[in-house]
Structure 1
Amino acid sequence: MEFDYVVIGAGSAGCAAAARLSESGKYTVALLEAGGKDTNPWIHIPVGYFKTMGNPKTDWMYHTESDPGLNGRGIPWPRGKVLGGSSSINGLLYVRGQAEDFDGWRQLGNEGWGWDDVLPFFKKAESWQGEGSEDRGTDGPLTVSPTRAGRDLVDHWIESAVNAGYKKNPDYNSGDQEGVGYFQLTQRGGLRCSSAKAYLKPARGRKNLDVITRAQTEKVIIEEGRATGVIANVRGTSKTIKARKEVILCAGAIGSPQILMLSGVGDAEHLKSVGIAGVKHLPGVGKNLQDHLQARPVFKTTLSTINVEIDSMFKQAMIGLRFLTTQSGPMTMAASLGTGFLKTDERLATPDIQFHIQPFSADKPADGPHKFSGFTASVLQMRPESAGHLELTSNNWRDYPAIHPNYLATETDQRTIVAGIEIARKISRTNPLAEFITEEHAPGEGVAMGDYEATLNWAREASVTIYHPTGTCKMGKDDQAVVDPRLRVHGIEGLRVADASIMPIITSGNTNAPCIMIGEKVASMVLEDAN
């Protein structure tokens, strides 16, 4: 088993990278995916994330360590373990981030990663189904659509936000993110458009592309400072897969640093402590872990929400029938419908919080919705200062790493999440939305509006991840950087990393779109270097 390029991880970035590398037919490419094929129908039904998250057949089901910022709680961290990776189990939300995010990367010394540099790759990836704009792509493999149908509740929330002083923004992906509106979705004809559907399905007939599922990488083979292949456990058997040119790690913000460390690339003292011989001392591997933490205010309402629309078998059957016959209705709904990118302080140059407005509510999604009609106004800080780390627990590739998110560790992060919760409550008390709210379920009456300490404590007790781990193999030139601006691992030839882990600073919003862009960009750089 020998190929020109071996891509590890068929997620958002990996599918894009493998498809583009194999496009010309000039090079042979192996794409290794630890999970299985994306044949589960719930993957393709937009609301299927209720069935695929928490399912060990499609979810790695990571769990963090006890976190001081969450009052000692550890929380689930779902990540996709299937063709398409997390793009196959996520909420379908498409957010590029702010132009300033990428300009900030460039200012850190990462040439080629400013907004003007990455915009062509966002455009190359997407087939935008909304109104035409020079900032949007129209013939890429990834279908990006406006929300198919509005809801009264979301319309009222948007109108109330405007009445509370925030502007409306019809396209937050145009370079100007600020404002409120509906989410854009990775959806095609009422079905999910994952990176596997977008990139792999059209490439399946290529003789130079081998997609190998249930192939978990044990380590990268590094000989005399060069990556020459990988050892992968393919359906229970360890196999050596050679790479004539390069190995490209696209295993995500948890998988990529774990594989590097198992291969002897990482902090030498840590590797020694778990019995791994160091190949290259890169102390930043597994560090700089950033994630978006969401607080979830919930409100009871007289408006119709998913909670009451699925509260009987008959209603569920009718919703299912509608989806089967017209590919419309609640089963086509993304994880959130409305959004807002807002500032907690007008002196800020760009928004620092994001809202996810969901016409349903639950204590835990796996437990099902509340018995009352309710909605969630989830809010998160987009650029947290707090950074955590992950580390190996053993030298066995089967063992999960220990994940330490280090949430809410700085005063800025604490004040921002409290301010975001206050804004959520303010909008809920503004008409027309206020007319339809009967009670604030959470934080509730026990947490008075304006009580900073009580609100912060509620955030610590109740907040959860919104599934955006990044930064653990960061791009840069400082002593904590793992890859250079061409995503080559420092000090190792023939090895690159291309996924959310390379972000030096987390992007402002959902991370699937930037990961797909990274996959597009790494393929372009690899092909440039090969020629």
Structure 2
Amino acid sequence: MAHTSRVTVDREIVGDVLRPAYDFIVCGGGTSGSVVARRLAENPGVSVLLLEAGGSDRVSSVIDSTRWMSNIGSERDWGYRAQPSPSLNGRTPPLPMGKVLGGGSSINASVWARGHRNDFDSWAEETGDPGWSYASVLDIYRRVEDWTGPADPRRGTGGPLRVTLPENPVPLAPALVGAASALGIPPVADLNGDPMESDGGCGCPNLLVGQDNVRVSMAATYLHPAMGRPNLHMVLCAEVTRLKLSGNRVTGVEFVQWGRTHGVSAGEEVIVSLGAINTPKLLMLSGIGDQAELATLGIPGVVHLPGVGKNLQDHVLLAGCIWEYQVPEAPRSNAAEFALFAKSDPSLPGPDLMPTLDEFPCASEVTATQYDVPVGVDSAWTLAPGLARPVSRGSVRLTSADPMAAPVIDANFLSAEEDVQALEYCVELCREIGNSAEVKPFVKREVMPGPLSGDELRHFVRNAAGSYYHETCAAKMGRDRMSVVDGSLRVYGVEGLRIADGSVMPRITSGNTMAPCVVIGERAADLIKTRYGMS
């Protein structure tokens, strides 16, 4: 379901809706949180409170799927940046995260990428829970999808999410498919089909885009139709600052709205869905994390979980390999209508490269000053090298006990040599595609990087690399000492608390992370319903 005119109330006024207690409190109305809140509220016998730090998603830059980049750095972005990194030549790349109802699904590129078979099977192995296996996850995907593309028993129809292919992609997109296929990357009609069970493929991505480029977000799909339910209250501009605990049991939350602190109780559970930066931040502020680190900040300890804030992962995106258009072409659909998955090393268990087309010039703050980059969204196009299986790991740490203080985020992009080598390979692959005979009719000139090798190529990679906007894995599920939640998403050592967002991934999935986060939300709701006998 896309954005509709039926949504007339944001329910932002605490005095109008807030009760002293609810059965379930969902912290965060992003991709996973939207799913959890809606699914729990489908049972009229339970009360659900959804707290979202951002505002309404009913703004033009959210609704128009081609304008997603304009949300980056706006009030709909948390505005986090990574710490200066020697592996990025001292740069501090931005780490965009949605701060708006719908979270990342309201500001992203609308790509629906399921993830590779090996990703989910590894989750099942790490948790000991077959419910996270690829076979089990396929059942969830079939349930939520309304796939309009080629028939495939792996795809679902009739679900709430209309998943489609670009109806009229820019002419450059099929040319890129032809160029990639000439290099041995098989063209496919569905990137969520065979490429997610094999060594890769190329084609147009699956999209959550409705008619007239209207975004299909999780807020629009799951929450807008439920806004009139008396048992579901949604409070916007409400930043959760602490979990309320009695011993090791979570009994509610505190949140701040417009400078005023509020408290509300949870009769059954609190579900934290704040994303891979704010979820560990909230846990640590509440005394859940590495007790030695928290003690230095004067935060009373509750449960020692040293894995909180560790294992941070993100796909790495290079901005980018750019060509000036022979004839200017305005972006269409989601402005990213081509992608490929491939291996930099044939011995890898799955594709580790995920370049994507950006139908506009996309350069980093450094490379934009080093090259003559055309001005205007229709002046040039970018084939952005991407890393799907990073080896590098980062962390999230607190700077103080002040909940309004930003955390320290060490992204550690390209700290592993394997990641640098893979991206060097990917730059060469993108240049070979972009300079091919198939693509030549769309090229006036190659803007960057040109023919580089050795130290020059490595320097370009470090100057161009940044976030793919897929921060995940900082509160991972598993069974080792660094795990934060079990296979049922319950926080170890704490009662009445689950995490349902991308931070629980043990390893980031191959491809954009919105679809796996929907799966996490759906599975969390299923687990909770089973636990409490809810239909």
Distance 1:375 1:51, change over 3 A: closer
Kindly indicate whether the alpha-carbon contact (under 8 Å) linking 1:250 and 1:499 is maintained by their aligned counterparts in 2.
yes
The 5 Å alignment of 1:182-331 reads: 182-189=204-211, 190-306=213-329, 309=330, 330=331
> How many residue pairs were aligned?
502
The 3 A distance-change label for structure 1 pair 13 and 156 is same
Q: State the SS of the aligned residue for 1:15.
A: helix
The DSSP-based 3-state class of the residue aligned with 1:184 is: coil
Structure 2 alignment gaps of length 5 or more? 1-19
Distance 1:435 1:44, change over 3 A: closer
Once residues 348 and 435 of structure 1 are traced to their aligned partners in structure 2, the CA distance between those partners, rounded to angstroms, is 35
Confirm whether residue 394 of structure 1 aligns to residue 413 of structure 2.
no
Q: 1:346 to 1:248 in 2, by over 3 A?
A: same
Q: Which amino acid aligns with 1:370?
A: V
- How far apart are 1:287 and its partner, in Å? 0.3
CA distance in 2, matches of 1:124, 1:436: 40
Instruction: Please give the secondary structure, in 1, of the residue aligned with 2:423.
Output: helix
Aligned to 2:390: 384
Would you identify which runs of 4 or more consecutive aligned residues in structure 1 move more than 4 Å? none
Separation in structure 2 between the aligned mates of residue 46 and residue 383 of structure 1, nearest angstrom: 27
Q: What does the per-residue CA deviation read over 1:41-96, in whole Å, with 9 as the maximum and x for residues that have no partner? A: 2211112323322112x111111110121011101111111100111111111101
Q: CA deviation at 1:492?
A: 0.1
Q: Percent identity?
A: 37
> C-alpha deviations, 1:432-469, integer Å up to 9, x for none?
11454343221125x2xxx2332121110111211011
Aligned AA for 1:180?
C
CA contact (8 A) 1:98 1:175 kept: no
TM-superposed deviation, 1:134: 1.8
Q: Which amino acid aligns with 2:476?
A: K
Distance 1:268 1:256 in 2: 17
Conserved 8 A contact 2:149-2:164: yes
Q: Structure 1 residue 414: deviation in Å?
A: 1.4
Equivalent positions of 1:24-39 (< 5 A) are: 24-39=43-58
State the shift of 1:305 in Å. Answer: 3.9
1:474 aligns with one of 469, 473, 476: 476
Alignment of 1:3-152 (within 5 A): 3-56=22-75, 58-111=76-129, 112-152=131-171
Quote the RMSD (CA, aligned, Å).
1.8
| Cα contact 1:93–1:184 (8 A) shared by 2 | yes
Q: Does the Cα contact within 8 Å between 1:363 and 1:369 map onto a contact in 2?
A: no
TM-score normalised by length of structure 1 = 0.91
Deviations 1:72-130 (A, max 9, x none): 11011111111001111111111011011000111223402110111122222222222
Alignment partner, residue 439 of structure 1:
445
Closer, same or farther: CA 283–54 of 1 in aligned 2, 3 Å? same
Structure 2 residue aligned with 1:429: 435
Deviates more, 1:191-200 or 1:44-53: 44-53
Mapping of residues 439-518 of structure 1, within 5 Å: 439-445=445-451, 447=452, 451-518=453-520
Q: 1:419 aligns with which of 425, 428, 439?
A: 425
CA distance in 1, matches of 2:508, 2:430: 23
Q: Deviations over 1:400-457 (max 9, x none)?
A: 1011011111221111111111111122232211454343221125x2xxx2332121
* Separation (CA, whole Å) in 2 of partners of 1:236 and 1:40: 24
Structure 2 letter corresponding to 1:396? D
Provide the residue aligned with 1:370 in structure 2. Answer: 375
Per-residue Cα deviation, 1:326-382 (whole angstroms, up to 9, x for no partner): xxxx4x5214110001112334342110011122214369x9963583211111111
* Equivalent-residue separation in structure 2 for 1:197 and 1:109 (angstroms): 32
Change (3 A) 1:389 1:55: same
Measure the CA separation in 2 of the matches of 1:191 and 1:418: 36
Over residues 117-169 of structure 1, what are the superposed CA-to-partner deviations in whole Å (9 max), with x where a residue is unaligned? 11122222222222222212222222211112122211111101111221101
CA distance in structure 2 between the aligned counterparts of 1:48 and 1:375, rounded to whole angstroms: 15
Q: CA 1:110–1:470 in 2, change beyond 3 Å: closer, same or farther?
A: farther
SS of equivalent to 2:195: coil
Q: What is the CA-CA distance between 1:293 and the residue it aligns to?
A: 1.0
Q: Secondary structure at the match of 2:385?
A: strand
Secondary structure at the counterpart of residue 334 of structure 1: coil
1:155 to 160, 174, 178: 174
Say if 1:37 and 1:436 are closer, same or farther in 2 by CA, change over 3 A. Answer: closer
The answer on whether the counterparts of 1:153 and 1:359 sit within 8 Å (CA) in structure 2 is: no
What letter is aligned with 1:348? L
TM-score computed with the length of structure 2 as normaliser: 0.91
Asked if the contact 2:84/2:92 (under 8 Å) is kept, the reply is yes
Matched residue of 2:115: which SS?
A: coil
Given candidates 201, 221, 231, the residue that maps to 1:179 is 201
Partner of 1:337: 337
Task: Give the C-alpha shift of residue 174 in structure 1.
Answer: 2.3
| TM-superposed deviation, 1:301 | 4.1
For residue 383 of structure 1, report the CA deviation from its aligned partner: 0.8
Instruction: Give the 3-state SS of the residue equivalent to 1:104 in structure 2.
Output: helix
- Residue range with higher mean Cα deviation, 343-352 or 217-226: 343-352
1:1-24 Cα deviation digits (max 9, x unpaired): 211000000000000000000112
Write out per-residue CA displacement over residues 262-286 of structure 1, whole angstroms, 9 at most, x where no aligned residue: 1100111111111211111100000
Asked whether the equivalents of residues 418 and 452 of structure 1 are also in contact (C-alpha less than 8 Å), the reply is: no
CA contact (8 A) 1:385 1:413 kept: yes
